[in-house]
Amino acid sequence: MAPVDPEILRTSFAVVERRAEFAVKYFYAHLFRHHPDLRRLFPVDFPEETRRQRDRLFAALTHVVERLEDPTLTAYLWALGRDHRKYPVQPEHYAAVGTSLLAAFAVVLGPAWQPEVEKAWSEAYATIADAMLQGAREAAAEGEPPWWDAQVVARRGCGSDLAVLTLRPARPLIYLPGQYVSVSTPRLPGIWRPYSLGNAPRADRTVDLHVSRVERGVLSSTLVGRVREGERLRLGAPGGRFTLRTPAERPVTFIAAGSGWAPVKALLEQLVRTGDASRAESPYGHRLFVVARDLAHLYDRAAVEDLRTRLPRLAVTFITPAPGRPREQATDRLLTALGNRAHWDRHDVYLAGPPPLVEEIRAALPALGASADRIFHDLLPPAGPVRARPSDPAEWLLGRPRPTWHNPASREPYA
């Protein structure tokens, strides 16, 4: 993407960003007043979900403005358009969104909304919309559906807060181990959340979702507590870059916390299938750290032990807090265990779990000798309630929230 003057977009967006709450409200008020039929694309019965969906627009704009000269931006927009088909967004909606977006920017910028600013944003939005539409068209031309219908064929409860759902998509779902899909249920129309696929591709086409209940999370609570065998869910297109990219001669360290075990399990299954003979000459084996908030939440130990048997060069360490200690102690114990291991410069690291833990461990690993560019993980949007956005410029400047990324895997720092 090469706008006429990227600096015009950045400086004007910096002003809009400081009044983000008002800009978002004005945008949707304008959109729904002129196109009331578009309200059906939003989960109006769940105000918090509507807010989350609305914030994704601003997050996507932030991503674009930060990477105007990035050659990967077109691929990001292509994937965004591909993914938006599940809502379902039609080509004519893009023009409506563009009109309302420029109207919101004009009101927020006031006298600063000069002809050159309007021209820059009009051209930029046209480029964005064209790339997204191209992504949607190419996906459709390749025969990819907007979503996959999938039947729940098995359900395994793991305590009251976690369930493993086995699904059989009606059409083949082509994905790589470690990737995720967005998930929706007819019980909660319009609400989608990303979940990692917990297995490498199988001959029977089934896939596993490891769903952990999140406090006040409407979709996770429904999937864990209400969904049963025989029900149908919808799956979005697979995405994410948490895929195995380690050369055969390098050992791997896997760190899985909570239901972050799902994508790590898929990667380990891939290692089993590809074999480990090429590493036989290396004195360095693989390492796996499985982290849980307590012993009861080590919910898949049988699968871990099976993988350890099938990968003899895999050393496994389970990490939990000491009995009676708070769950946060698990992170401290993990950091201690990582510090007691050597040869980090020889290992690639694959890290999956709650975003705060991922960030903390990712920041600590280079000090142990791990190469920062060989630490791989996706940062999925938090599944819990949306934190209120700042209500005025001062609050925005002092407590700017992290955007809720629509497709975080495209952000290179977290690839």
383 in any annotated domain: no
141, 157, 191 - which closes a domain: 141
pLDDT of residue 355: 87
Please check whether residue 101 lies inside any domain of the structure. Answer: yes
**Residue 19 pLDDT > 90, yes or no?**
no
The whole-number average pLDDT for the span 86-112 is 93
Residue 385 falls within a domain, yes or no? no
Mean pLDDT of 339-362: 94
**Cα–chain center distance at 351:** 14
pLDDT at 150: 98
Q: How many domains does the chain have?
A: 3
Instruction: Give the model's confidence band at 278: pLDDT under 50 very low, under 70 low, under 90 confident, else very high.
Output: very low
Residue 380 vs residues 278, 305, 348, 355, 377: alpha-carbon distances, Å: 33, 27, 21, 7, 9
Domain that holds residue 229: 148-235
Is 242 part of any domain?
no
Radius of gyration of the chain (CA): 22
Say if 326 falls within a structural domain.
yes
Least confident of 107-121, 244-258, 389-403: 389-403
- CA atoms within a 13 Å half-sphere pointing along the CA-CB vector of 136: 21
Check residue 297 and give its pLDDT: 84
Q: Note whether 337 and 317 are within 8 A (CB).
A: yes
Query: 255 with 289: CB under 8 angstroms?
Result: yes
pLDDT in tens, 68-88: 888 888 988 998 899 889 988
Which residues face 197 on adjacent strands?
A: 209
Same domain (yes/no): 10, 115: yes
Phi-psi sector, 406: left (phi>0), alpha (psi -120 to 50), beta? alpha
CATH number, residue 194: 2.40.30.10
The mean pLDDT of 326-330, rounded to a whole number, is 87
| pLDDT, average across residues 46-52 | 62
137 and 52 within one domain: yes
Residue 412 lies in a domain: no
Mean of the pLDDT values across residues 220-224? 94
Q: What is the CATH number of the domain that holds 76?
A: 1.10.490.10
313/5: higher pLDDT: 313
In a domain, 393, yes or no: no
What percentage of the chain exceeds 70 in pLDDT?
A: 85
Model pTM score: 0.82
Report if residue 282 sits inside a domain.
yes
Q: List, for residues 114-169, the tens digit of each pLDDT value.
A: 999 999 999 999 999 999 999 999 999 999 999 999 999 999 998 888 999 999 99
